[in-house]
Amino acid sequence: MPISPQLELAFRDRFGTRPVTCVRAPGRVNLMGEHTDYNDGFVMPVAIDRAITIALRPRTDRLVTVHSLDYQQSVTFSLDDLQRGERGWAAYVIGVAWALQSAGSALLGWEGILSGDIPKGAGLSSSAALELATARAFAAISGLAWDPARMARLGQQAENQWVGVQCGIMDQMASAAGRAGHALFLDCRSLEYRHIPMPAGIAIAVLDTGTRRGLVDSAYNERRQQCELAARTLGVRALRDIDTAAFKVRATELEPLTRRRARHIIRDNARVLQAIQAMQADDAGTLGQLLNASHASLRDDFEVSSEALNAIVEAAQRQEECFGARMTGAGFGGCAVALVETGQASRFAEQVAAEYIHQTGLNPQIFVCQTADGANILPA
Ligand code: GLA
């Protein structure tokens, strides 16, 4: 996929030349393993064909200048004097420069134009895509080696320590290391990963409820603390270290609420491994059942779903051509994901939209996404 004519034109308008290079990093949708990443567990996201793209050229000084087409805003900063004042998208760009420099990378200045088509705040990881696109830009200009796992960690560090949002490693790893045609099976403790081929005949539908998550940060942090408490009480480093059999025996050591939180994590971890088996056996039916079970667990045990998410997931699950559906990402709003028979996706989308609008009065956005490669440099 070459650079879009619109981005090239915007670059020419602003800088008077063609860009020297163009980088992109994708958003993601998570198929299985939700809230498991910060429990050192397993996840299985796919990188999707919605991305952040940056067209750029080097500068001879130590400045970085980025213009966002979507926000119609620019930021300029010096690599010798990174300031914490910026908010919004610019904070992510500066935060990545900070993380790279803190890790010892020698950075060079550049200027460019940034644009994206990932819905924001929808649980499709537009922030991680912005971090990885920025890292890819710095790596291209400064001649840094591109190690996806290292870059994902630095993106996460920028988000945790510079922007101040607690998140796990899943989104950054999906954006850094995804591969077209595959899901990314990731061990969030070792960061070892494998690309699992998507079975033929399955389309991935993203169901955006049109609602945006409120209170998500505090609820997210609260869930993290509850999981840490469960691990501490059970005497393990992380909930990853307890499997479903061990949990059956020891569950009563936990208070009822903590027990439900832990039960979700431990079962969703197991479901990631089962999902891989189902995919390798081309068993879309079992894979779909696993999605449905994961949704029920997120709704009842982990309590991060919402009325809108439940409504759209149930509408999806009612359709004959749907193998299974669940909320995806942190929860409380945003998107669900459904696996649907290829060829039936438009009928599915129309029907789910109609039922959802009828039930909730809200306007959904439903689209089939293609799997995509992780962060890369676009051909000139
Ligand atoms: C957000 C976080 C991820 C992960 C998911 C829930 O997307 O950024 O690290 O914890 O929520 O699975």
Mean pLDDT across the chain, nearest whole number? 96
3-state secondary structure of 317: helix
Number of the ligand 1 atom closest to the C-alpha atom of 37? 10
Pick from 32, 36, 37 the residue to mutate for probing ligand 1's pocket: most ligand atoms within 8 Å of its CB: 37
% the chain with pLDDT above 70:
99
Helix, strand, coil percentages in the chain from 3-state DSSP, rounded to 5: 45, 25, 30
In the chain, what is the straight-line distance between the N-terminal and C-terminal CA atoms, in Å?
Answer: 10
**Mean pLDDT, residues 87-96:** 96
Answer whether residue 260 is part of any domain.
Answer: yes
For residue range 133-146, what is the model confidence (pLDDT) as tens digits? 999 999 999 999 99
Domains held by the chain: number: 2
Query: What gap in Å lies between CA 26 and CA 375, rounded to an integer?
Result: 6
Residue 261 CB burial class (10 angstroms; 0-12, 13-18, ≥19): buried
Rounded Cα–Cα distance for residues 18 and 309 (Å): 44
> Model confidence over 206-250: pLDDT tens digits?
999 999 976 668 899 999 999 999 999 999 999 999 999 999 999
The yes-or-no verdict on residue 198 having pLDDT over 90 is yes
Residue 2's pLDDT is 79
Does residue 209 share a domain with residue 66?
no
Compute the average pLDDT of residues 77-91: 94
Q: What average pLDDT does the segment 150-154 reach?
A: 98
Ligand 1 center–CA 94 separation, angstroms: 22
Structure confidence at residue 79 as a pLDDT band (50, 70, 90): very high
Q: Are 10 and 137 part of one and the same domain?
A: yes
Of 145, 178, 197, which one is at a domain's C-terminal end? 197
Say if ligand 1 is within 6 A of residue 122 CB: no
Same domain? For 170 and 294 the reply is no
- 34 CB less than 6 Å from ligand 1? yes
329 CB near ligand 1 (under 6 Å): yes
Q: Is 324 in the pocket of ligand 1 (CB under 6 A)?
A: no
Atom of ligand 1 nearest to the CA of 169: 9
Judged against a pLDDT cut of 80, whether residue 359 lies above it is answered with yes
Q: In testing the pocket of ligand 1, which one of 127, 153, 167, 309 has its CB within 8 Å of the most ligand atoms?
A: 167
Atom 3, ligand 1: residue with shortest CA distance: 168
Query: CATH number of the domain that 142 lies in?
Result: 3.30.230.10
Residues 180, 75 share a domain: yes
Q: Is the beta carbon of 40 within 6 A of some atom in ligand 1?
A: no
Same domain, 341 and 307: yes
Residue 156 and residue 245 share a domain: no
**What is residue 217's predicted lDDT score, i.e. its pLDDT?**
82
Instruction: Report pLDDT for 215.
Output: 60
**One-letter identity of residue 5:** P
Shared-domain flag, residues 321 and 300: yes
- Let me know whether 191 and 255 are in one domain: no
Q: CB–CB of 297/33 below 8 Å?
A: no
How far, in Å, CA of 33 to CA of 332, rounded? 16
* Domain annotation covers residue 380: no
Measured between alpha carbons, how far is 143 from 237 in angstroms, rounded to an integer?
Answer: 38
Residues 256 and 182 grouped into a single domain? no
**Domain end call among 151, 178, 197:** 197
* CB-based contact 270:240 (threshold 8 Å): no
| Pocket flag, ligand 1, residue 170 (CB < 6 Å) | yes
Domain assignment of residue 277, yes or no: yes
Residue 178: inside a domain: yes
Q: Are residues 169 and 248 in the same domain?
A: no
Tell me how far the alpha carbon of residue 196 lies from the centroid of ligand 1, in angstroms.
20
Question: What pLDDT band is residue 8 in, cutting at 50, 70 and 90?
Answer: very high
The atom number, within ligand 1, closest to the CA of 33 reads 12
Whichever domain contains 226, its CATH number is 3.30.70.890
Q: What is the pLDDT of residue 86?
A: 85
For residue 380, pLDDT over 80 is answered with no
pTM value surpassing 0.95: yes
Whether residues 131 and 68 share a domain: the answer is yes
The whole-number average pLDDT for the span 340-351 is 97
pLDDT score of 199? 95
Residue 13, domain extent: 5-197
CA 226 to chain centre: 22
Choose the final residue of a domain: 197, 223, 249.
197
pLDDT value, residue 147: 97
Q: Which residues are catalytic?
A: 171
Structural Rg of the chain based on CA atoms:
21
- Do 137 and 252 sit in the same domain of this protein? no
Give domain status of residue 376, yes or no: no
Distances from the Cα of 19 to the Cαs of 51, 62, 92, 293, 380, in angstroms? 18, 18, 22, 47, 9
Residue 182's pLDDT band (cuts 50, 70, 90) = very high
Give the pLDDT mean for 67-85.
Answer: 96
Q: Looking at the domain assignment, is residue 375 inside a domain?
A: no
Judged on CB neighbours under 10 Å (0-12, 13-18, 19+), 101 is middle
Residues 157 and 176: their CA atoms lie apart, in Å, by: 14
Predicted confidence (pLDDT) at residue 1 exceeds the cutoff of 90: no
